Amino acid sequence: MFEIIILTAMSILCVNTEIAPRLLLNDGFKIPIVGLGTGTTTDEAVRDAIEAGYRHIDTSLNYKDSEKTIGKALKDLISEGKIKREELFIVSKLETSDHERSRVPIGIKQSLDNLGLKYLDQYLIHHPQSGVDVLETWRGMEDVHKQGLTKSIGVSNFDEEQIDRILANATVKPVTNQVQCNPYHNQKKLHDYLSKHNITLTAWSPLGGTFGSENLLKDSKLVSIGHKHNVTAAQVALRYQIQRNIIVIPKSLNKKYILENIDLFNFKLTDEDITEIDSLNKIQ
């Protein structure tokens, strides 16, 4: 009887340890190379991900109720003793309505409030275009960084020219640029530029996106490389990025896929596989 109680208590408390290796950022912090995308999400998906060993979650103020859903799930998981705040890596984004320097603290505080957190691990400018000079917005990002509301700051959907302007004027360098990136749009040129400046690339829609994943994941080359390694086309698409030191944030609401999308560390693509996947790129 006593043993049954202990075993039950252990299984309630049990979550997988962190699975994805961490990548070093230019400010010394380390990000798990696989995160959960939450363009839409559920309490169950967040719990499944944390229990499967995810520690990195990507969200935004404008992903409907995602921040609130994530906040509630994390609060429960923390109070159940399954995870500690400091083990998590939470990323959120500044929306265009808050691009004035004085509004950046308002934007981040709203996200923190939704998430029930005191700080973010990474805060990104979601889009460069808003009618406000990006340098003004970046000063606001540096303000909230200095205030300790986020550990790192970065950008999303920026091109080389926009990043050059930040680098020429910034006190704090962006740690990442989050852009669309998958085998059909591999961002080689931008990735080379970012690597040269020690800025990571984070791949959104790494599976082709909500409306494009069916096409990408049926690609005969990805499927056949997957067969060779006994994995799915989705795992090939994600592993391809990891071998390029690119961070991936696949989104799923489905437990089977959530598990699959982080089960990437028991196989390795060969140089020939990588060359073949490179050849799928459709956008220069």
Which residues of this protein are in contact with ligand NDP, per CB under 6 A? Answer: 37-39, 58, 126, 156-157, 178, 204-210, 213, 217, 234, 249-254, 257, 260-261
Please list, in sequence order, all residues whose beta carbon lies within 8 angstroms of the beta carbon of residue 219, skipping any fewer than 6 positions away: 183, 233, 280
**At its nearest, how many Å lie between ligand NDP and the CB of residue 81?**
27
* DSSP secondary structure string for all residues of 133-188: -HHHHHHHHHHHHHTTSEEEEEEES--HHHHHHHHHH-SS--SEEEEE-BTTB--H
Active site residue 240: no
**At its nearest, how many Å lie between ligand NDP and the CB of residue 82?**
22
Taking the least distance from each CB to ligand NDP, the nearer of 146 and 228 is: 228
**At its nearest, how many Å lie between ligand NDP and the CB of residue 1?**
41
Tokens of 190: 């931008």
Ranked by CB distance to ligand NDP, the top (closest) residue is 37
**At its nearest, how many Å lie between ligand NDP and the CB of residue 239?**
12
Taking the least distance from each CB to ligand NDP, the nearer of 110 and 157 is: 157
Taking the least distance from each CB to ligand NDP, the nearer of 58 and 273 is: 58
Amino acid code (one letter) for 215 = N
CA separation, residue 46 to residues 53, 118, 128 (Å): 11, 19, 29
User: Can you tell me the distance from the alpha carbon of 29 to that of 52, in angstroms, rounded to the nearest whole number?
Assistant: 23
Taking the least distance from each CB to ligand NDP, the nearer of 38 and 273 is: 38
Angle between helices 66-79 and 104-115 (to 10 degrees): 50
For Cα atoms 242, 247, 250, give the angle at the middle one, nearest 5 degrees: 95
Residues designated as active site: 63
